[in-house]
């Protein structure tokens, strides 16, 4: 989140839902887990090509 940005209620709700579904990530976290600063994007659940199983 950019410095000085005040999240809206909708943004906060989206992050809470993301936290509940995915656990702590840089995008949505608890104070028990720390992450380095950087661009935090929500997880999409997509597996990058080459990392998935081939059938």
Q: Tens place of pLDDT for every residue, the chain, 55 residues? A: 678 889 899 999 999 999 999 999 888 888 888 777 775 665 555 555 665 565 5
Residue 47 lies inside a defined structural domain of this protein: no
Q: Which domain holds residue 18?
A: 6-35
How far apart, in Å, do the first and last CA atoms of the chain sit?
A: 39
Task: Round to whole Å and give the CA distance between 38 and 11.
Answer: 18
* Cα 27 to chain centroid, rounded: 3
Residue 52 lies inside a defined structural domain of this protein: no
The pTM (predicted TM-score) of the whole model is: 0.59
Residue 22 lies inside a defined structural domain of this protein: yes
Q: What is the pLDDT of residue 12?
A: 92
Residue 10 lies inside a defined structural domain of this protein: yes
CA distances in angstroms from 40 to 7, 35, 50, listed in the order given: 14, 10, 23
Answer yes or no: are the C-beta atoms of 8 and 26 closer than 8 Å: no
* The total number of structural domains that make up the chain: 1
């Amino acid at each position: 989140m950019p410095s000085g940005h005040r999240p809206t209620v909708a943004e906060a709700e989206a992050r809470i839902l993301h936290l509940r579904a995915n656990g702590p990530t840089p995008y949505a976290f608890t104070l028990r887990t720390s992450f380095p600063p950087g661009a935090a994007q929500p997880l999409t659940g997509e597996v990058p090509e080459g990392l998935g199983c081939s059938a």
